[in-house]
Amino acid sequence: MFVVTIDQQGSRRVGDRVDELLATLRARGDLYRGSAGVAAPFERTVGDEVQCVLVDPALAVDVTLAVLRLKGWSVGIGAGPVDEPLPASSRAGSGPAFILARDAVEQAKSRLRVVPLVVHGHHEARAREAEAVLVLLGATLQRRTPAGWEVVDAVERSGETRQDEIARRIGVSQQAVSQRLRTALWAEEQAARPVAARLLAAAAVDG
């Protein structure tokens, strides 16, 4: 299992953004109770913190990167077993993965971290490797320009890979689409996501 705990940064300064975050995450359509890969959906746990329990490591990667893109949040992932049966609410959950996620999010709050993300796992060496890949991905996303995001979002929303069609949709040249995708390191991101997911899966089991 993968417990993802997210804590808001600077809530006293900017106000509570939890409802905004939950609305953004739920708009994805794949994080509701009963969705494939979701053991317990995102909910506010305490204060300005939210948490969910996922079965699918690829979904954990997707969610983590989506939150890092928003900025202003620290993310801790605990990869490992949970006490079963798992209650409907993650707030009532217990087990090693919950403890690992708690330790991870507390460490992620460190101001020394450029990307506020920490992964702890049942297999800690694999967890560190998963964290390294996710931090690189997070840093890539944080440096992506609005023009880069426009093209990447158009590709991901439509599922269209033909650059001439993407260019037509957003009103730029095909050459501009190609250049923006290269600058955004989109192909590299897509290649690295499954690697992060495999490492997360490995971190959840005892080595």
User: Would the CA dihedral through 128, 140, 6, 39 be positive or negative?
Assistant: negative
Reading the chain (207 residues) residue by residue, the pLDDT tens digits are: 999 999 999 877 778 899 899 998 888 877 877 788 999 999 999 888 999 999 999 999 999 999 999 989 999 999 999 999 988 888 888 999 999 999 999 999 988 888 999 999 999 999 999 999 999 999 999 999 999 999 999 988 877 668 888 898 889 999 999 999 999 999 999 999 999 999 999 999 975
Going by C-beta distance under 8 Å and a sequence separation of 6 or more, which residues neighbour residue 59? 30, 31, 37, 38
The two structure tokens encoding residue 23: 């609305």
Q: How far apart are CA 121 and CA 112, in angstroms?
A: 22
For the whole model, what pTM was predicted? 0.92
Q: What residue segments make up the domains of the chain, in order of their start?
A: 2-123, 146-184
The angle at the Cα of 95, spanning 92 to 100, to the nearest 5 degrees, equals 105
Class of CATH domain 2-123: alpha beta
